[in-house]
Every structure is written in structure tokens, then in C-alpha cells.
Chain A
Amino acid sequence: MLTLRAEFRRLFTLRSAYAIPLLALAVTAALAFYLAGWYATPQDLHDPGFLATQVASPLGIVVVFGALLSILLMTHEYRYNTIMYTLMSANSRSKVLLAKIVVVTAFALAFTVTVDVLSLVASYLGARIVQGHALVPQTIDVGDLLWRTLVFGWGYAIAGLVLATLIRNQVGTIVTVFLLFGPIEGILDAVLGHNALYLPFTALGNVLKSKTTNTVLLPVSPGRAALVFAVDIAIGWMVAWMLFLRRDASS
């Protein structure tokens, strides 16, 4: 419990813990407002699933900010050598890692919910203010939308933490996340064909997509995609956890 409290304090005494989410929320608001205000067609505005669709679009982009913060939470420790104090403060390294996972999870969930709400509000305002007319009555399956966005937001943050635990170098981890997220999985998608659905970031993408957000037939349901991601991340954590316990406390 003390380790967990210290980990929260560690996060919230960092400037980037405020700067990064604020930047992410500003991007979310601007993007959602633009997409609903200028990009959406009149037909879109007559779609009862329009707002639900809009939530996914900004989240797909700003989710990297959540991943970035979770990367910094771990890699700052090695960059500034505070990992010595962190490991010394608890009598088990597992407690330290568990505390970091809990903190990243709590942050990611709160961050994703905030992005969801802000996207809805900004999209609604965009349609009202720029397009000048009200949306048709919207149908939002809140439960479905919430679990998929939460898994997506948490997934990126926790994947960032796994990679940071494995790599420990700040720049190296950030570059790796962007490479995996973009070019590497893109190439693997082309090579693996249908089997690409087992790749972690592809799986996360499939969690966010649904019949309301993507008309293309999905290779897997969001539920199965979440399961695939869970297996991927569990394998990643097994390796990362073992290395965290066994490696020297320096980068």
C-alpha cells in the first residue's frame, strides 16, 4: 500500500503528468470539434450512431499520450537513477512493479473516460456551432462504448509500460512504441495476412472498431480481439517481470 501511495505521489509530482494529459485533451477537443464541425457530411449528422463513432476517432490518436506518460513513469527512473530509491523502498521488486501497473491502469482509465466525454461534448458542439443544426437523436450503447475505449486506452498505456520495463531507455522505448504501432505492425499485417489479428496493436485496433464505427467486416469481434491482446500482454509481462526481478538496477 505504501509502495502504491508513493507511486501515485511519484506520478503526480511530475510536470509531465499534467502537461501531457492537458495537451492530449486539447488535441481531443480540437479534433472532435473539427471532425463534427467541418469534416462530417450532412448524412453523417443524420446518423443516430454519429457521436458514438466520433469518440473512437480522437481516442485512436491521443491514446499515444497515455502510452507516453506510462513510458515516462518507468524510464525516468532509469534515466535519473531514482530506481535505486524505488527498489530500496520496498522489500520486494514485485511490489514496485505491481504498484506501477496499478498507477498506470488508474491513470489510463481516468484519462480514457475524460477523452470519451470530451470527444462527445466537442463533437456535439462542433455539429451545433459549425454545422448549425442539431444532430438527430443519438443512440449510444454506453456499456459497449465504454469497455471498448477503456480496453483500448488501457492497452496502449500498459503496452507502453511493458516495453519501458523491457527496454528501460527512454528514447529507445518511445521509438520502439512508435515503430511497433506504425511501420512494424503495418509490414507484419501485410506479411501475416489474416494471422495479423494476433498482433497486439492490431488486436487493440480491432477492439475499438465495431459495427458502428467500421462498416468493413471485422476479422474478429471486439471481445475476441481483447482476449488476443490480453494474451499478448500477459506474455510480454511474463518476460518483463522476470527481467525486472533479475536485472541490475541500472539502465
Chain B
Amino acid sequence: MIRAEHLAKRYGDTVAVDDLSFQIETGKVTGFLGPNGAGKSTTMRLMLGLDRGVGATTYDGKALRDYRRPPQVVGMLLEAGAFHPTRTARNHLRVLATAGAIPAARVDEALDAVGLLHVSDRRPGKFSMGMSQRLGIAAAILGEPKYLILDEPANGLDPEGIFWLRQFLKGYAARGNAVFISSHLLAELAQLVDDVVVIGRGKLIASTSMRELIASRSPGRVFARTAHERQFEDLLAQHALVYERVGDDGFTIAGVTTDDISRLAFEGRIPLLELTSRAGSLEGVFLELTEGAEEYRSGINTKG
């Protein structure tokens, strides 16, 4: 488990991170959300000891400096393009492998995993954004660390790359590791993360499971379709359920789950043609949570 406690960082008069505490559990992917300028990158740098600030971060109860070989404990991607442009991709990883006491064979394995093995002897100065990002991911996973801290890893990746990244990170966490990932691609993150940490203006807004976050902020809604609209409407009225008619045969029912409606329809002997959950989106919840905590705000109303 990663435990971040009372992290704080100031730049002059500006508070970048303000008494931030949360924890990241193994076996899960934890999303790190916040508007631009919320302090996500600074928090990650504080967690890794790259920036000097207040507070402490422990990995399985120990500070990173207490591990003999930190690259085998935590892998990170904080910035795509963090490599020397004329040092080949393979040599870049070889340097990291040497420093972290990581077997040399892992270099080609990591490059293969991110699909860069065929360009491993090329200088990365001319890599595309996506290729640079893949090289950064290769560097992060090089030591097969228990913890991955990734800042916007999907930036610049093509759809295949994003799909690969999602599968890879899910699999990585499922093997008992922990992945802490920040991204502005909320739809993508919604498919990936188990837990979320939301911050705004450097302060913690929420730290909970994804399911609980969405459930707490947007009461469940269910869409049902039936050819027996009249009986179904009566049934909903009998149970004092709030609903809306959608089209000729559709209903959107508030405050219930698909299980509830399925049971009711069965008891009322009303066959359903369709029954789906209309839970709130991560995007909607995020916008609601971070309203007023944005550093930069467009003139467009995002409340929808």
C-alpha cells in the first residue's frame, strides 16, 4: 500500500499541494483526478521524493529512500520525452537498468512489451509523441515494480495504444501491484480505475472507490422498455416510483437499480424488452466535484 500523509508544497505564495493525505491499495488501479493546476503532478513528484515539500509517502510502510533499489519498488512516468534525444532507446533503458540493478534482459522485454523493440536502436529525438510515451512506459515497468505512478500515460497514444495500456494496467494491478494514474481522459479512466482520488486547488476532494463515488453523487437511474406500458406504469405508481416516459414504450426510473425493476416486473408478470442501468458518468461527477476548484475555466457552461 502507498500511504501519502499530509503532503504539502508551496511555490512562493502559491499553495500547490495543501495537506493532502490518501492511500493507494495494491491489486487496484487508482485514478488521480483534478482540474489543470490542481497539483496532481506536484503531488506525484512529492510522492517520489523528486520535489521537496512537507509530508511523507510510504510504500509498504517504508519511505522510498529506505529501499536499496527504489526502481524495483516504484516505476514512474511523469513526462513523455524524458530522455536524451541522441541516446538510443535501448541505451536509455540500459542506463536505467544498470542504476536499478535490473537484469539487462529486461531492457528488450520492456521494449517489446510497449511495441518499440524494432526501433530500439534508433535515437528517440525523432520519436512521435506516442512513441515517446511508450518509451516512458517501458522505463516505468523496467524493474517490474510493485507500484506504478503514471502522469497522463495515455497522452499521444493511438486507439490501439490506449486499448493496450488499459489492458496492460488492469493486468498489472491484478497481479497484486498498484497503479496510480492521472489522466484527463475521463471516459477512458472510467473503464480502467477501481478507486479515485480527486483533488482541487491542492486539496483533497474525494478518495473513495469509483463505484461509491458515482453512486453517492448520482442516484441510480434505470431505463426499461416494455410492450405493456399501461400495466408497467400502474406498477411503478403502486410503488411510488418516480419515472419519465421515453418514447412509446420506454421508462426512465429514478432511485432504483436494475435488480429492483427486474424483481418488480417479475412479480407483476410484465415482460421487459430492455432493462439497463443509467448510472451517472465519471465526467459528470468530476465536473460537479471540482466546480469552483478549477485554476483555469473556459467561458462555456460545463454543467450541461
Contact = CB atoms under 8 A, between A and B. Distances in A.
Nearest to A96: B99
A3 B99 CA distance: 5
Contacts of B76: 84, 88
B45 A248 contact: yes
Nearest to B11: A248
B35 interface: no
A246 B84 CA distance: 24
B98 A15 contact: no
B52 A89 contact: no
B99 A84 contact: no
B180 to A, nearest CB: 15
A91 interface: yes
A90 B99 contact: yes
B295 interface: no
A88 B148 CA distance: 13
A152 B97 CA distance: 35
A244 to B, nearest CB: 11
A248 to B, nearest CB: 4
Contacts of A128: none
Given A246-B52, A247-B52, A249-B50, A91 B64 contact: yes
A84 B82 contact: yes
Contacts of A15: 86
B96 A2 contact: no
Interface stretch (B67-75, B227-235, B240-248, B272-280): B67-75
Nearest to B143: A89
Contact of A81 (B68, B81, B95): B81
A27 interface: no
Contacts of A211: none
A91 B65 contact: yes
B85 interface: yes
B84 A2 contact: no
Contacts, number: 85
B78 A84 contact: yes
Contact of B96 (A14, A85, A91): A85
Contacts of B74: 88
A148 B79 CA distance: 45
Given A15-B86, A91-B67, A249-B50, A84 B79 contact: yes
Interface in A53-84: 76, 80-82, 84
Contacts of A90: 70, 99
Contacts of B79: 81, 84
A10 interface: yes
A89 B85 contact: no
Contacts of B141: none
> How would you classify the secondary structure of chain B's contact residues: helix, strand, loop or mixed?
loop
Interface residues of B, number: 36
Nearest to B82: A81
Interface string A228-244: 00000000000000000
Given A84-B76, A91-B67, A14 B98 contact: no
Given A2-B100, A89-B96, A14 B84 contact: yes
Contacts of B101: 2
A18 to B, nearest CB: 11
Residue in B64, B67, B82, B85 with the greatest tally of chain A CB atoms within 10 Å: B82
A86 interface: yes
Contacts of A3: 99
Given A84-B76, A88-B70, A2 B98 contact: yes
Nearest to B65: A91
A82 B99 contact: no
Contacts of A5: 98-99
Interface in A205-251: 246-250
Interface string B89-111: 00110111011110000000000
B99 A14 contact: no
A6 interface: yes
A14 B84 CA distance: 8
B50 A248 contact: yes
Residue in B49, B51, B94, B96 with the greatest tally of chain A CB atoms within 10 Å: B96
Contacts of A87: 49-50
A3 B79 CA distance: 22
B217 interface: no
9 tightest Cβ-Cβ pairs between the two chains A and B:
A89-B99, A6-B99, A81-B82, A13-B91, A249-B50, A6-B98, A248-B51, A91-B65, A13-B87
Given A9-B91, A88-B50, 6 more contacts: A14-B84, A80-B83, A85-B139, A91-B64, A247-B52, A250-B50
6 contacts: A10-B95, A15-B86, A82-B83, A88-B50, A88-B74, A247-B52
